[in-house]
Every structure is written in C-alpha cells, then in structure tokens.
Amino acid sequence: MLIPKPALHSVPPYYVHYINLIPETDLITAFNNSTANTLALISSIHSTKENHAYSPNKWTIKQVFNHIIDTERILAYRAFRFSRKDATALAPFNENDYATNDNSNTKTLANLITEYTTVRASTHSLYSHITTDMLNFEGNANNLTVTAQSIGWFIIGHNTHHCNVLQERYLV
C-alpha cells in the first residue's frame, strides 16, 4: 500500500518544514531511502570525531544521532497507539533532558548504528502493515492533533533535518 504525504493543511504547523524536506511521495520508499542515506552518513564519520560538537553547549555527533533514535522511538510509539485507536492524550518530551541523560558518552557510533537499525526496522515494520483506517485516526500528542500518517512523515523529515545539520554544521 502506498502511504502518501498528508495534506499540509491537516498537519501541525511544526511538522510542515520537516515534511517538506522529503522528496519522496510514498512513506515506505522514504523510510528505505532515509535509512540508506543516514547509515551512509554515520558510517562515514571517523571515530575520532564522534564526540565533536560544532560549538560549546551544542550536542556531540553521538548525541545528535542518539536524538534521532530517541525521537523515532517516541514518535513510533505514538503512531502505534493512534493506529490502535487509542485516544489517550500523550505527553510531550524534552529533547534536551533526553540528550543530557542519553548515556551516549558510553556508546560508540557502531553501537548507535546498531540501535538505529533496530529501531528503524521496527518502525518500518509498523508502517508496512498498517491500514488506511489505522493511518487516519486522530490522536493528541504534545497538545497537537496528529495521525499515524503525519507522524510517519515527520519521523523521516526529522531524521533528514538532523542529517542535514550534521553535514552543514558539523562538517561531516
């Protein structure tokens, strides 16, 4: 089943920038391309740079990658709940608190690649077996009305955004 981009007027304004970063028109294709591009980028980073931050008080490369993983894990959970027609409002999360407590200083990029691959495979599986009805259920997360469809596209856009940041600001 093709999962098209949602109409931008139907997604939270915060999502629009991220969704617009994605050239693909099918979510599963976007997941596949995003996975390949992200793994190629992260695999190209030498281990001597993994603790590099482009400026004081900014995240290290490992923290950025860990943030991509943490965010996908949280968003996929939200999409899972809404795809099951769970109307429970879901709380926001503070990305900086997560980064402070992510334990990335004990991980290598190789560890993070394994974790990313595992989380992405789970997210891919969720969306590979989802129905239109499941995609379109509206739930509340972070005080925003969202669907599993819009969350899926946001996951890819968020991932793309941070890969762009790594390339532009961290010069990787």
pLDDT of residue 27: 99
* Cβ–Cβ under 8 Å, residues 123 and 76: yes
Task: Tell me whether residue 62 is in a domain.
Answer: yes
pLDDT digits (tens, 9 = 90+) for 75-88: 999 999 999 999 99
* Cβ–Cβ under 8 Å, residues 13 and 155: no
Q: Is 126 helix (H, G, I), strand (E, B) or coil?
A: helix
pLDDT of residue 172: 79
- CATH value at residue 111: 1.20.120.450
Number of domains into which the chain is organized:
1
Tokens of 69: 């993983």
Paired with 140 in beta bridges are 145
Task: Tell me whether residue 15 is in a domain.
Answer: no
The 8-class DSSP code of residue 121 comes to H
pLDDT digits (tens, 9 = 90+) for 99-144: 999 999 999 999 999 999 999 999 999 999 999 999 999 999 999 9
Task: Tell me whether residue 110 is in a domain.
Answer: yes
Task: Tell me whether residue 92 is in a domain.
Answer: yes
The 8-class DSSP code of residue 4 comes to P
Supply the DSSP string of 37-99, one letter for each residue.
Answer: HHHHHHHTS-GGGTT--SSTTS--HHHHHHHHHHHHHHHHHHHHHHHTT----B----HHHHH
Task: Tell me whether residue 89 is in a domain.
Answer: yes
Find the domain containing 109 and state its range.
57-172
* Cβ–Cβ under 8 Å, residues 170 and 54: yes
pLDDT of residue 4: 98
Does the pLDDT value for residue 31 go beyond 90?
A: yes
pLDDT digits (tens, 9 = 90+) for 147-168: 999 999 999 999 999 999 999 9
Task: Tell me whether residue 93 is in a domain.
Answer: yes
Query: What are the φ/ψ torsions at residue 138 (nearest 5 degrees)?
Result: -90, 125
Task: Tell me whether residue 3 is in a domain.
Answer: no
Task: Tell me whether residue 162 is in a domain.
Answer: yes
**pTM here?**
0.97
